[in-house]
Amino acid sequence: MFKTPLRAPMAMPKWLAAVTVVACAATASAQQADTASTADPTPVAIILDQRDGAAPVNPQAWEEALGQSRAEVLTVVPVTDPNAAQTAAQAATDVGTPENTVILQTFNVPAANSSAFDPIRQQIDANVLEQNAQMGWQVALNLPMCVLYERPPSGDEPAPTALLAVMDEVYAQVFCYRMAIAYYASGRDESGARIAPVYIDAQTIAMQETMPPIAFHSAYLAHKDRRDDRGRYLARDSNVYAPGEEIFLRGYLENVARGLPGTMEMTFEFDLHMEVRDDADEVLGRVKLHTYTAPSTLLYPVDETQFWNSITAGVNLGDPGSYTLTFIATDKMRAGEPSAEVSFDVVVDADAVPTGRVMPTE
């Protein structure tokens, strides 16, 4: 039983613990913040379900999450009896939360960061959403360190059922428990759907505000069709190409700004141009190669790689000669900031034997 003080005494079975917490700031730390509806939270009864092998909630993390929440929460201690959910739901009715009760299971994912968590999350998605599609499961909250799935009430369960897959790490558990509480204590829109709390990572925003302009972290000319045992493109031994042979760039950019930084809707957008000079340093031309834009995964914990992007680009030159190719990346999220540049000296030799793909030169 969680021994958090009550705001007012309630008569209830001994296996229930009524929890009322003091309002606090929405910021959990300098790293994360969440914002829910401006309306007062709705009281909620959360049944912590340990049937069917569900992992137990971390009691210390749960109590800390309650202490950070603005909501009034009735916590039902771990349920192991197959028939206890119905009994608990009746108890919730007795204390005044019959319309806002949820049965919560947790699954602890053995991961300490989002890079390790994401592949397991994809497997859970496939299992919960695809294999059990007929049961109505859907994603309620999607965060860097956890995902909350829910399904509507069914014949054998008197309340919505939720599954929280969360990193097996205390900070992640505290934060994700609190976000799950905020979700079920939130109001509903006109359609009856819950108003999910908005997740904002304050550290990501602060890092973007102070980071320097876009830059190449590294770049090299590579074999497009050759990779090492870790899947990385192999660098070319020579910058001598046959006419029309593909010149393939592999690059890594840093300090690439994000749109909607710190949210799960982050995006990036930058252009890549190429400038060609001859051996007399005369500019022969400049061409736009590509605009790169896509969603950007929010990392946990946040570090400078949050603003990294990898790129590839392929070009060719048909006329023999010596050239300097300058690849120019321009961050479209930060207009007016300097672009990033990286240059390579290449030779196009009519007698060279191509080691890569030969592309049309017209």
Tokens of 218: 């590294």
Quick one: pLDDT at residue 148? 97
Q: What angle, 0 to 180 degrees and rounded to 10, lies between the N-to-C axes of helices 59-68 and 170-184?
A: 50
What angle (nearest 5°) sits at the alpha carbon of residue 276, between those of residues 274 and 282? 140
Quick one: pLDDT at residue 174? 96
Q: How far apart are CA 6 and CA 10, in angstroms?
A: 8
pLDDT tens-digit profile, the chain (362 residues): 332 222 222 222 222 222 222 222 112 223 344 444 445 777 888 888 776 666 778 989 999 999 998 888 877 665 566 565 566 666 666 656 656 788 888 999 999 999 999 999 999 999 999 877 778 899 999 999 999 999 987 766 667 789 999 999 999 999 999 999 999 988 777 887 888 888 899 999 999 999 999 999 999 999 999 999 999 999 999 999 999 999 999 999 999 999 999 999 999 999 999 999 999 999 999 999 999 999 999 999 999 999 999 999 999 999 999 999 999 999 999 999 999 999 999 999 999 999 989 987 66
Quick one: pLDDT at residue 98? 59
Quick one: pLDDT at residue 133? 74
Tokens of 18: 């009524």
Q: How far apart are CA 46 and CA 179, in angstroms?
A: 13
DSSP string across 309-320: EEEEEEE---S-
Quick one: pLDDT at residue 230? 94
Asked whether 229 and 205 are in contact (CB, 8 A), the reply is: no
Q: What is the DSSP letter of 157?
A: B
Number of C-beta neighbours around residue 74 at 10 A: 24
Q: How far is CA 361 from CA 222, 244, 285, in A?
A: 20, 6, 15
Burial of residue 308 (CB within 10 Å: 0-12, 13-18, 19+) is middle
Asked whether 178 and 28 are in contact (CB, 8 A), the reply is: yes
> Would you say the C-alpha torsion 188, 190, 196, 199 has a positive or negative sign?
negative
Quick one: pLDDT at residue 77? 60
Q: What is the DSSP letter of 56?
A: P
Element (H, E) at 151: strand 146-151
Among residues 198, 189, 180, 183, the alpha carbon closest in space to that of 41 is found at 183
Asked whether 272 and 289 are in contact (CB, 8 A), the reply is: yes
Is the pTM higher than 0.85? Answer: no
Number of C-beta neighbours around residue 312 at 10 A: 14
Burial of residue 126 (CB within 10 Å: 0-12, 13-18, 19+) is exposed
